[in-house]
Each structure stands twice: as C-alpha cells, then as structure tokens.
Amino acid sequence: MRILFLGDVVGRVGRQMVHEHLPGLRERWALDFVVVNGENSAGGFGITEAIHEELLAAGADAVTLGNHAWDQREALVFIERAPRLIRPANFPAGTPGRGAALIEARNGAQVLVVNMMGRVFMDQLDDPFAGIDRELDACPLGMAADAILIDFHAEVTSEKQAFGHWCDGRASLVVGTHTHVPTADHRILPGGTAYQTDVGMCGAYDGVIGMDKEEPLRRFTRKIGSSRFEPATGPGTLAGLAVETDAAGRALHCAPVRIGGGLSEALPHFW
C-alpha cells in the first residue's frame, strides 16, 4: 500500500500547497491513502468545516488534529458529522468526535487512523501509551486492519521516540506532529513500523513555526506581546512522509517529502 502523511497545515499558505500539489501526487504516485494534519489550517488555529471539506476534496482520506482542535468552536459541533476528522484519542471521556477511525483506502484496504497527544509540556491528558494499547488491541494490524497510521501530536523528541518504539511492530506508521520542523530521523524500526519524530508542516517556513516572525521576535526579545500571532506568508512548502507497506501492513520503505519553499526538496525514490 502507498501512503502519504502530510504534516500540520498552517494557514492559507499551507492550504494552498495542499490544494496545489496533493491531487497530482495522488495520481502520479498512485497513492492508496493520505492523511493530513489540519489542526492549524484555519488562520493557524484550529479547523473549520469548510476547510475540512476542502482538504478532503484535495485528496485527504483522513484529517487529524491536536491541541488546537477546538480553537474554532464550530469544530465541537461539526466533528460529530465528520467521520474522517480525528481528534486525539486521549482527550477526556465525553469529548465530541472520535480518536480513531477505520477508513477504506482507494485500493479497498481497511486503514485504522489514530490520533494521540503527548503529555510532556502539553495538556495533561490521559496516558497516551495506555490509550494506544487499547486502540491497537481493539483493531490489530493484519487482522482487523490492513494498515495502521498513528499521528502522535507531541512536544518533545524523547516522548515521541519512546512512543514510536512502544508501537513498533503493531502499526504501519508512527509520525510526530506539532513542532512544525521536519526531523532527519525517518526510518523503519526493527518491528517494521515507519517512523519520523516530526514530519514538519505545510506552510511558509520564513517565519517561526509557521507564524509571521515579527510577533514571536517581540515576545522573545521584549517579553511583551503586542498583537496576536498571524500565519507567515511567502513561499510555501509541502512537508510529509511517504511510506510503502507490504501485504502484512509492515513498512517496506519510507522517505521524506518536501516540495516548494525554502527547504531542500525531498521526494521518495521508490515510486
């Protein structure tokens, strides 16, 4: 199975990159399944129903979220009628929406998509390690699911790496989101799980993690905020991870994807 995961879509520039490139990539690479993290897609904070529909129309099979899931209050309502919009599974019981979904891929395979959030320097949610055990036990790889894709939305590299090893052999792909900077550690873990600590973001990199740099600079140098954060403008970059799996759902290949903008281009060599 050919899978593409795209990192946090930040603001208008990030959305434009998805709309410009994803439809062509789906056809050119014959992608079976695409996941997009959309938690920063609405002006850098949250997601709206219209934007969610736009991401699906561009070629996403599922959209994951994170700590900004409810910044646009309408998400609390429309998520209930959006079965492919997935918020962190370790949110408290009774939170609207779902933390995992079994979705049919373009090739007819059943793909489990799970969103989980870390706890180090983040909101103190339920234990993500115990939470992912429940999700994987309920829908095992190779039995109930042909592939399992996990978006671990977390701050620190140590927690992300530990989480990847915890899931190794039980998932096809574990990727980190949230920090918006692509790491150079993409690899296949010993048990056959593709992993990258952070896949980066889809947005403008001439800023501070996707935001216009002037306000972050003022806050760092003067410790006084003078305005709200606004998404950066300028050339955009599409960033993510491409993965190919075998019939058992284990990763055969993985490679970073970076298209456009100020970062060096990276494309999968195995397709």
Return the pLDDT at 142: 95
- Under 8 Å between Cβ of 204 and 231: yes
Whole-structure pTM value: 0.96
| R_g over Cα of the chain | 17
Mind listing the pLDDT tens digit of every residue in the chain (271 residues)?
A: 999 999 999 999 999 999 999 999 999 999 999 999 999 999 999 999 999 999 999 999 999 999 999 999 999 999 999 999 999 999 999 999 999 999 999 999 999 999 999 999 998 899 999 999 999 999 999 999 999 999 999 999 999 999 999 999 999 999 999 999 999 999 999 999 999 999 999 999 999 999 999 999 999 998 888 788 999 999 999 999 999 999 999 999 999 999 998 899 999 999 8
How many residues are recorded in the chain? 271
**Domains, the chain, with CATH or none:** 2-204+235-259 (3.60.21.10)
Which residues are designated catalytic? 68
Q: What is the pLDDT of residue 7?
A: 97
Amino acid at 148: I
DSSP 266: B
